[in-house]
């Protein structure tokens, strides 16, 4: 389904871009924020009793992927300092 790929990519790129400047300025603070968000998202991922539907599932999966990408970049910046 093309709309799912487009929505996934839009969410992935949007969140990655959102954190880009903060990641450069404060990788440790960004890491803490992202890890907190990921913890909550992973808990909600398995608790779909309200029925997110295909759009909600696509956005949540893309959000997790984007935050994992940001997390990896934070760790790389912290280690390289």
Amino acid 10: pLDDT: 95
Amino acid 47: pLDDT: 80
Rounded to an integer, what distance in angstroms lies between the CA atom of residue 30 and that of residue 8?
Answer: 22
Amino acid 5: pLDDT: 93
Instruction: Write out pLDDT tens, residues 14-67.
Output: 999 999 989 999 999 999 999 999 999 999 887 876 778 888 889 999 999 999
Closest CA to 52 of 62, 66, 67: 62
Amino acid 52: pLDDT: 82
Q: pTM value? A: 0.89
Locate the domains of the chain by residue range. Answer: 2-80
């Amino acid at each position: 389904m093309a709309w799912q790929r487009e929505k996934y990519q839009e969410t992935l790129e949007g969140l990655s871009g959102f954190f880009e400047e903060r990641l450069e300025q404060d990788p440790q603070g960004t890491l803490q924020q992202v890890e907190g968000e990921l913890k909550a998202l992973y808990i909600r991922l398995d608790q779909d009793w309200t029925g997110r539907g295909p759009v909600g599932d696509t956005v949540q999966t893309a959000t997790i992927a984007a935050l994992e990408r940001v997390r990896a970049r934070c760790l790389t910046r912290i280690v390289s300092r």
